[in-house]
């Protein structure tokens, strides 16, 4: 897609200085700009690059005044960073504005497909599936029986959504995610083997949820695994059966949440966190990366470590962790002196 500087200025309600007809077709950093690219300048630390950039168009703040010659066309706006972000959203929407049903793909006769839908090639839409309006399903995706997808949800390529899953409006599910696979349920037998426990529940994902690439959310043993409104899950997260994650909670990559744990609202959980099953984590909790949580956590706690302790306590303790070799050496020296004093006393 190509856009002229004038078209971009119209979208951003900005003023042009330079060639209004110059065209751009890609985005770039200001220091890596080249002909045909669009960039922006908002951080004064990068001002030096605007005089040498080869980018055809640069978005700048209205108060920017060049101190020497520049070759790039300027679009002046109130806030360059905010304007560039707005343009990224516009570009992304335009790029992903696909519609229609590609061939080959399979759509069950009992499926209900909404208006202005895109279904990519080699996708599978099972029996009694309901797909809302303005939904985009990219190639090689699988929707099992009785799946419900709300309006304006995007499902990227290679996503597997198992039967009975319910997904709300305006969700984004990235490539390789698996929603509704069996929970990890096995019962030990007397002979040491394990028998599989049927997983007959489902997954419910509410509105405005983002799910990262290759993240897995298991169906409940009974009832539902629930991801509440506004939750943001990074890539490569494991959510086990019957877990519930409260609204607007964000979780970074490689976190694992064991079965039946309840996480509250507005929590922030760092990467590589491990959470045991059957516990409750309160609202507004902050969990530092690589923390191991094995107990209930109250509202508003900030925790770190494995096993997790209070963030302030962890930082105080860490001062001593780093000094352990010196402390041990001191203890050994004191022990030696005590033994020597004892021997003298006994003589």
Active site residues: 241
- Compute the Cα dihedral for 142, 137, 92, 179 and give only its sign: negative
Residues 210 and 233: beta-carbon distance below 8 Å: yes
What φ, ψ does residue 276 adopt, rounded to 5°?
-70, 170
What string of DSSP letters covers 62-81?
Answer: TT---SS---SEEEEES-HH
Task: Note every long-range contact of 38-47, with CB atoms under 8 Å and residues 24 or more positions apart, other chains counting.
Answer: 38/3, 38/8, 38/87, 39/72, 40/80, 40/81, 40/83, 40/84, 41/80, 42/79, 42/80, 42/81, 42/84
> What phi and psi values does residue 329 have, to the nearest 5 degrees?
-60, -40
- What Å distances lie between residue 182 and 36, 74, 218, 239, CA to CA? 49, 55, 6, 11
Asked if residue 71 lies in contact with residue 52, where contact means CB atoms within 8 angstroms, the answer is no
**Are the CB atoms for 262 and 280 separated by under 8 Å?**
yes
Q: In degrees rounded to 5, what are phi and psi of residue 85?
A: -60, -40
């Amino acid at each position: 897609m190509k856009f002229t500087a004038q078209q971009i200025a119209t979208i951003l309600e900005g003023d042009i200085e330079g060639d209004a007809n110059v065209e751009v077709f890609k985005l770039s950093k200001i220091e890596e700009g080249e002909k045909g690219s669009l960039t922006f300048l908002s951080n004064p630390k990068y001002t030096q690059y605007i005089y040498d950039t080869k980018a055809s168009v640069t978005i700048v703040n209205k108060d920017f005044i060049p101190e020497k010659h520049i070759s790039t066309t300027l679009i002046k706006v109130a806030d360059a960073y905010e304007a560039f972000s707005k343009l990224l959203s516009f570009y992304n929407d335009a790029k992903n504005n696909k519609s229609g049903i590609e061939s080959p793909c399979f759509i069950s006769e009992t499926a209900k497909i909404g208006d202005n839908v895109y279904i990519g090639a080699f996708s599978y839409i099972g029996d009694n599936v309901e797909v809302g309006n303005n939904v985009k399903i990219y190639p090689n995706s699988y929707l099992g029986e009785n799946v419900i997808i709300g309006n304006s949800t995007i499902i990227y390529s290679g996503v597997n959504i198992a039967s009975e899953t319910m997904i709300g409006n305006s969700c984004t599910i990235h490539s390789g995610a698996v929603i509704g696979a069996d929970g990890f349920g096995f019962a030990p037998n007397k002979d040491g083997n394990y028998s599989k426990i049927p997983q007959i529940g489902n997954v419910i994902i509410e509105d405005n949820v983002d799910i990262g690439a290759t993240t897995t959310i298991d169906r409940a043993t009974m009832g539902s695994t629930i991801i509440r409104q506004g939750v943001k899950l990074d890539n490569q997260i494991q959510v086990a059966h019957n877990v519930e994650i409260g609204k607007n909670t964000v979780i970074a990559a490689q976190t694992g949440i064991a079965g039946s744990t309840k996480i509250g609202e507005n929590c922030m959980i760092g990467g590589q966190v491990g959470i045991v099953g059957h516990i409750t984590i309160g609202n507004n909790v902050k969990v530092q990366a690589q923390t191991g949580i094995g107990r209930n956590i109250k509202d508003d706690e900030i925790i770190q470590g494995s096993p997790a302790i209070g963030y302030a306590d962890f930082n105080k303790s860490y001062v001593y962790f780093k000094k352990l070799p010196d402390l041990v050496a001191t203890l050994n020296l004191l022990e030696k002196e005590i033994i020597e004093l004892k021997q003298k006393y006994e003589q």
